[in-house]
């Protein structure tokens, strides 16, 4: 089968790009002819074709156009409307614009534009809506998309490559307990709640430290400024490290050293850091929001609230309760192996594509 993969852009260390490239490789291993089309690409090995060429590349109605939908982009919308090929909408979710209100009007506009296309895609009756999580698929089920046209496939990832790296802890802080957050600095990631939890924990553990690995988009500089002010206000500047240029070896070391991964995001379409933590044996404390409960399963401590004392108490309990720690690690490794290991994802992808063979 000839499959044209369309994506808004490719970059190294990006979750959508990892899913695109991992799925492309898996499709080729399954015997399909695959080409990737993107307006721009940086730091990836895959040969990229211009999006305008995808229409000509797909020759038969039996071919497949697979679009990774994660931003607002008119071109695929128009392409989906006119193509004769079968259409798979790979949905990674788009952060609701309300999270960016007062932080960046550009983000508000872009996210609104992206989510504004949900109705159009839902109305197209695509051959397959492929969600990274049940939470993502809800966006289509509420718009009346036939559940038979929906399928669940967690994203392909780089966890095995991360596991194989030599850890480099030279730039990591020495505080203990060490709370880890992995993800870009963005309002939906609830960094303020992390800082508040650290302040509460510091009352009982003066050496506690928060390590955040993730970049700040210059367009969200106001959020960065506000976060900095929050850190100063809570008196935890010395106990907080925001590392924006961490490499894979440092990420590996952070998971090894951390007492817990703290994921208090209010909106996530899947959250790859959770499966990284599960695979590497780092206990997880997370907020029971959006896709997080499904991704984490029962392999971590899920809370409806981000109350600082509650999160701090959970960290302390993890630190002192060896049985709990080992139980969560064991469950995490098991959940990763059963649900998110590359071989499992490839098997699921194969099963999903079989419906096109019928």
Partner 1 sequence: MAVSSSPQDEYLERVKAEIRAEAERARVRDPLPRHDPPPRATQARRPAFDAGIERERLDYAIGELTGPHYRAFLDQAFRAVLKRPPDEAGSELQIRLLAAGASKAEVLGNLRWSPEGRRVGTRVRGLLPRYALAKLVRVPLLGYFVEWGLAFAGLPLLLRHQRAADTSSAARFGALDEAQANAQRMLDELRAAHAALDAEHDRRSDALRADIDRMLLRLDALEEQARGLEERARALEARAIAGAHEAIELRHYVHAANHWVTSLQRSLDELEETAASGRERADALAASIDVDADEATARDARHASWSAVLATRLPAGAHMLDLDSGDGSWLAALAARGIAASGVEANAAMVARAQQQGLAIAVGDPLAVLLRCADGDLDGLSLSATTLAREQTDIAALLVEARRVLKPGGHLLLRCEHDPHRLVIANAALDAAQHSRALLVAAGFVAPKSLPANRAFALLAQRPAA
Chain contacts with partner 1 (rule: CB under 8 A): 8-9, 39-40, 50-51, 71-75, 77, 102-106, 109-110, 113, 116-117, 120, 134-135, 192, 196, 199-200, 203-204, 218-219, 221-222, 225-226, 229-230, 233-234, 291, 293-294, 296-298, 301-303, 307-310, 312-314, 316-317, 321, 324, 327, 331
Edge-to-edge order in the sheet of strand 209-213: 240-243, 209-213, 178-182, 260-263, 284-287, 301-303
96 phi-psi bin (left φ>0, alpha ψ -120 to 50, beta other): beta
Among residues 102 and 146, whose Cβ is nearest to partner 1? 102
Sort strands 284-287 and 260-263 into parallel, antiparallel or unpaired: parallel
| Separation between Cα atoms, residue 67 and residue 89, nearest integer Å | 5
Among residues 253 and 292, whose Cβ is nearest to partner 1? 292
Among residues 178 and 292, whose Cβ is nearest to partner 1? 292
How near is the Cβ of 163 to partner 1 at its closest, in Å?
25
Among residues 120 and 337, whose Cβ is nearest to partner 1? 120
Q: Closest by alpha carbon to 311, among 285, 293, 291, 332? A: 285
How near is the Cβ of 118 to partner 1 at its closest, in Å?
12
Q: Closest by alpha carbon to 28, among 36, 39, 38, 18? A: 36
Among residues 120 and 237, whose Cβ is nearest to partner 1? 120
| CB of 230 closer than 8 Å to CB of 222 | no
Dihedrals phi, psi of 265, to nearest 5 degrees: -55, 145
How near is the Cβ of 79 to partner 1 at its closest, in Å?
13
Q: Which residues contact 320 (CB under 8 A, 6 or more apart)?
A: none
| Separation between Cα atoms, residue 129 and residue 17, nearest integer Å | 18
Vertex 110: Cα angle to 245 and 196 (nearest 5): 50
How near is the Cβ of 20 to partner 1 at its closest, in Å?
14
Among residues 6 and 21, whose Cβ is nearest to partner 1? 6
How near is the Cβ of 354 to partner 1 at its closest, in Å?
26
H helix runs in 142-220, sequence order: 159-163, 191-204
How near is the Cβ of 175 to partner 1 at its closest, in Å?
19
| CB of 153 closer than 8 Å to CB of 109 | no
| Separation between Cα atoms, residue 346 and residue 144, nearest integer Å | 29
| CB of 267 closer than 8 Å to CB of 96 | yes
Look-up of token digits 């499992």? 344
| CB of 27 closer than 8 Å to CB of 3 | yes
Dihedrals phi, psi of 343, to nearest 5 degrees: -65, -35
How near is the Cβ of 190 to partner 1 at its closest, in Å?
11
Among residues 116 and 147, whose Cβ is nearest to partner 1? 116
Six-digit token pair at 120? 């159009």
Among residues 27 and 110, whose Cβ is nearest to partner 1? 110
Among residues 180 and 301, whose Cβ is nearest to partner 1? 301
How near is the Cβ of 314 to partner 1 at its closest, in Å?
5
How near is the Cβ of 282 to partner 1 at its closest, in Å?
17
């Amino acid at each position: 089968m000839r499959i044209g993969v369309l994506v808004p852009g490719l970059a190294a260390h990006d979750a959508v790009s990892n899913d695109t490239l991992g799925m492309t490789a898996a499709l080729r291993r399954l015997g399909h002819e695959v080409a990737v089309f993107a307006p721009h690409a940086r730091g990836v090995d895959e040969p990229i074709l211009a999006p305008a060429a995808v229409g000509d590349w797909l020759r038969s109605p039996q071919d497949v156009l697979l679009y990774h939908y994660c931003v607002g982009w008119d071109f695929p919308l128009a392409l989906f409307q006119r193509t004769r090929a079968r259409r798979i909408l790979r949905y990674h979710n788009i952060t609701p614009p309300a999270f960016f209100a007062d932080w960046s009007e550009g983000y508000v506009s872009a996210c609104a534009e992206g989510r504004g296309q949900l109705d159009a895609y839902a109305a197209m009756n695509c051959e397959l809506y492929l969600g990274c999580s049940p939470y993502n698929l809800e966006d289509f089920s509420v718009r009346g998309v036939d559940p038979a046209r929906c399928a669940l496939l967690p994203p392909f990832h780089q966890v095995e490559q991360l596991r194989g790296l030599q850890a480099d802890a030279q730039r990591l802080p020495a505080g203990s307990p060490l709370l880890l957050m992995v993800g870009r600095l963005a309002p939906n990631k609830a960094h303020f709640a992390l800082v508040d939890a650290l302040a509460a924990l510091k009352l009982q553990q003066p050496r506690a430290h928060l390590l955040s690995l993730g970049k700040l988009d210059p367009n969200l500089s106001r959020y960065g400024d506000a976060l900095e002010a929050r850190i100063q206000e809570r008196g935890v500047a010395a106990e907080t490290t925001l590392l924006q240029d961490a490499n894979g070896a440092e990420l590996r070391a952070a998971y090894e050293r951390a007492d817990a991964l703290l994921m208090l995001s209010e909106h996530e379409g899947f959250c790859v850091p959770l499966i990284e933590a599960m695979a590497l044996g780092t206990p997880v404390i997370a907020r029971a929001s959006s896709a997080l409960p499904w991704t984490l399963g029962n392999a971590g401590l899920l809370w409806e609230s981000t109350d600082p004392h509650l999160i701090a108490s959970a960290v302390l309990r993890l630190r002192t309760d060896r049985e709990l720690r080992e139980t969560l690690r064991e469950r995490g490794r098991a959940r990763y192996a059963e649900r998110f290991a590359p071989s499992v994802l490839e098997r699921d992808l194969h099963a999903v594509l079989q419906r096109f063979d019928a």
